[in-house]
Homo-oligomer: A and B are copies of this chain.
């Protein structure tokens, strides 16, 4: 199974008055890391995928906050594909502080395969079989 790693430096604007990163920032970081996954795994950018005709809007998001991140820290985000069907793809995320084995934050996102023009669900396995098999192999 392919696991990609992205490093994200916490932005000042991402903190809130509690002194830590605001909880709504994490899905944005997932997205940054997912963009890296797609680029590294599939050899094409998500922007190109959209132009090709495929979008992956979210249908579910779950975040588990065991700890928090602070301005000045660099966060390591690990991403992998946890589920794949012709209709959907699920990603998992584990966020680590440098040098810590255990993630302080985990999450999942479930996405539908959707046609960019019609905004309708598409059967990824039928429409883009080569790409689908590639992801299938990486997710194993």
Contact = CB atoms under 8 A, between A and B. Distances in A.
B13 A24 contact: yes
Interface stretch (A56-64, A76-84, A90-98, A130-138): A56-64
A62 B65 contact: no
A46 B12 CA distance: 9
Interface in A1-52: 9, 11-13, 15-20, 22-25, 27-28, 31-32, 35, 45-48
Contacts of A47: 70-72
Q: How many copies are assembled?
A: 4
A68 interface: yes
Dominant secondary structure of chain A at its interface with chain B? mixed
Contact of A17 (B16, B48, B64, B65): B16
11 contacts: A9-B35, A12-B16, A12-B22, A12-B35, A17-B19, A20-B57, A23-B27, A47-B72, A58-B65, A60-B63, A61-B65
